Structure 1
């Protein structure tokens, strides 16, 4: 098919992108609440975006080109559509919509005399933050009774409207930071962006003509389809891709899990990065095992999110802080140029290839951050704590985004979260019950951060790194995708919750995840504590080790350890995928060592096929489950 040149940005790519964002929001929400199939929008891999993009590039676009070359989408148009989809994928479930509704209501629904939530929490929740009807909240969890005529939309208008202003400010900050750091990461440091490589090749359509890609595709698709058939026909044998081996007298578990997509992503990263990820994970497991064996434990309660031990939570926070600070230091000339462009309009600083100008990015960042600070203070967070909390939270966001762009960690979380950092570092007494309650509300957007707009936007910017695409209009496409997806997903989840009962929808988002913030702050209210000085020392040690690893890697070419491994290796998700990372590293090491880069590149399509095959299989089986009325056919988790 002949490629048309000069289309840059078209109205039809915007409209089709918005349509697919709507489909993505409806489909992922329905899958989460009713079908209970494989998660498609829960992490940075953006499985739903890949699946829909496959339908567009492989199933829809070729027939359009056959009918008329003018009907087919160009690669530039397809890349814009994918950027809209990947940003949209950060919103329907884990990233926002499945978090906000349960967290706003769970403190009322789960309040019991035994937990004293009504006395300890309710007096400090601002009425404009949550719906005020206890009946509407009850029906949200249990479903509307037959005598009720309709969903009580009215009680949700004010709280969701207030949250919408905050979340839009948050997303504008994330987009601005992505734009500010794009040139540094993409052109100066040349990060590999493993998560962007497959959609780029799908848009350019060369991958579909490669037989090795279809080999990898077939392996992932067939294995997962056999497991999908097992759900309907137990006589079909199940292929188990995970094994658990207890170690250290059953105090720790060594997990051997094979994940086809993660193997594909890890194959694309540098060898020292992949090696360091699995090495530091196993090292942390050994340390945890010895600590348990000898009765050494850190009793601090940091909540349920982050590393499995407070020791690694503090070490990781120190490490990721150094990662971000050193990144800013390395980017100091680039950041100075942006400041010159924003404040004095320096003509020699080029920003025409950005989706928004540097001046707009700078001022949007400042104004949106100011609004976020004002909003958080109004919600009950002490004024002097607000900048500390925002700094810690955005260090985590930026650090994770950098890690995803460099390491291929499509499944990643930070070692701790902003609210736990503040509570541990400054104590509960300076926050008081009102400040702690405000901290609980931040779990909506800053706690279980397995996906968020900044990382998605950063990968999307890599996908549209194409001179034929006019960049400025893409910013409006991204904002449009956020609005369409966010509104649709919230509407869909609310509607399904009132029809079927939220408790029947998803037991994590409407159960443990919804109760987690309030369990945490109530424990701190009942047992108030001062600053954890030991935690600060451990953070300092983590920062020192990270700085040393960074220095040694820069000084010695033979140094085998990448600092990212220390920062992210000990997280619980890495416990699940270390073996897959090890396999990908071992295969790539052998191919490069004995075959050279030529062999590595020739085998690369197989690993891209593993990613595509798994995600297409996930989406295919969700459609089968919808048509067949199947429930709980979760053929893939991580």
Structure 2
């Protein structure tokens, strides 16, 4: 009997998420822990370690320990001075901590919220910046650190109020940026700055737009969803299952998160993932011929990458690129291959935009 014997009896995405033998939570790899949590953490951690000199220099610039000439040089293309950046970050962090304290959380879960959210955001942004796909995506790894400081909640019936309140945050801090994760603002804003760089737009103008959007968007979203609840009813809204109390309860009740991030023991898998990411990062940076990268490992085994079969897309792109280069060389690739793919992507975006408008109209005027 193999590790995944009987997995065919589980339907759909359950083969990735559910039961005791699915890819994400089952032995021997427990991919949700080893790669999404461990390798994801390693990608963020070792990226910070490799760039510690740059980070240290920005801090020196913020506290006035850097020469004026050097400070002006490194801040030349930045939308705001590093001092202002760190000040805004500190203010946001303090306000968030105050809100969590009012919410009823103690120091340990607050620290976990901050660390997990930071690690996930950095890993997702790094992955998206290099390959254009968000990973870790659809991960439950945030539950691991929460359980390390608060326990699994199974020994107390019912669980403490703080346990439930803390775990309502676990899903959001470790989730995909495109769903409910906290990495989206970082990814979207940095994408805006990249587009500004490509088009020659002043980064300060982008910062103003991002800042105003960051203030207005949450207000509009909260006001809009409250209005929709009272106007149509929560269960009648698209995606009602994602906003219902039962969905939240399923992510913050001990018996419902036994497999999150995986069945015990999972800590060794987590540590092994971090070490693996560090080793691959070192080898990839040290030896030009070394082909493996921790981001590739993460992409191959991450939750949504498995569900959506990302490897098939990558394989198809590789085959088409190889055939194009073999037949017509770089000229055919640049003159036909790239424009064809760009046109496909543009067409898909137009189709998605039109479909979204039709969906919006259909909700209010059924047809």
- The 5 A counterparts of 1:115-264 are 250-251=8-9
- The 5 A counterparts of 1:2-81 are none
Distance 1:253-1:416 versus aligned 2 partners, 3 A rule:
same
Q: CA deviation at 1:330?
A: 1.9
- 2:352 is the alignment partner of 1:615: no
Distance 1:378-1:628 versus aligned 2 partners, 3 A rule:
closer
Q: CA deviation at 1:309?
A: 4.7
Distance 1:622-1:388 versus aligned 2 partners, 3 A rule:
closer
Distance 1:493-1:526 versus aligned 2 partners, 3 A rule:
closer
* Superimposed CA distance per residue, residues 85-126 of structure 1 (whole angstroms, 9 cap, x where no aligned partner): xxxxxxxxxxxxxxxxxxxxxxxxxxxxxxxxxxxxxxxxxx
Give the Cα separation in 2 of the matches to 1:443 and 1:384: 13
**Aligned match of 1:397:** 121
Give the Cα separation in 2 of the matches to 1:328 and 1:501: 45
Structure 1 residue matching 2:301: 3-state secondary structure: coil
Give the Cα separation in 2 of the matches to 1:597 and 1:254: 41
Q: CA deviation at 1:342?
A: 0.6
Which one has more relative contact order, counting CA pairs under 8 Å at least 6 apart? 1
**Aligned match of 1:262:** none
Of 140, 157, 162, 1:435 maps to 162
Contact 1:419 1:439 in 2 (8 A): no
Distance 1:307-1:355 versus aligned 2 partners, 3 A rule:
farther
- 2:109 is the alignment partner of 1:385: yes
**Aligned match of 2:305:** 574
- The 5 A counterparts of 1:554-565 are 554-565=285-296
Structure 2 residue matching 1:449: 3-state secondary structure: coil
- The 5 A counterparts of 1:508-519 are 508-511=241-244, 514-519=245-250
Give the Cα separation in 2 of the matches to 1:470 and 1:536: 46
Give the Cα separation in 2 of the matches to 1:526 and 1:599: 52
Give the Cα separation in 2 of the matches to 1:489 and 1:373: 22
Give the Cα separation in 2 of the matches to 1:359 and 1:405: 25
Structure 2 residue matching 1:534: 3-state secondary structure: coil
**Aligned match of 2:67:** 346
Give the Cα separation in 2 of the matches to 1:343 and 1:517: 42
Q: CA deviation at 1:444?
A: 7.9
* Superimposed CA distance per residue, residues 138-187 of structure 1 (whole angstroms, 9 cap, x where no aligned partner): xxxxxxxxxxxxxxxxxxxxxxxxxxxxxxxxxxxxxxxxxxxxxxxxxx
Q: CA deviation at 1:466?
A: 5.2
**Aligned match of 2:41:** 321
**Aligned match of 2:90:** 366
**Aligned match of 1:270:** none
Q: TM-score, normalization: structure 1?
A: 0.47
**Aligned match of 1:239:** none
**Gaps (5+ residues) in structure 2?**
179-183
Distance 1:313-1:558 versus aligned 2 partners, 3 A rule:
same
Aligned residues: 339
**Gaps (5+ residues) in structure 1?**
1-246, 256-284, 299-305, 634-638
Give the Cα separation in 1 of the matches to 2:333 and 2:366: 38
Give the Cα separation in 1 of the matches to 2:130 and 2:190: 11
Contact 1:393 1:417 in 2 (8 A): no
Structure 2 residue matching 1:371: 3-state secondary structure: helix
Q: CA deviation at 1:627?
A: 5.8
Distance 1:505-1:414 versus aligned 2 partners, 3 A rule:
closer
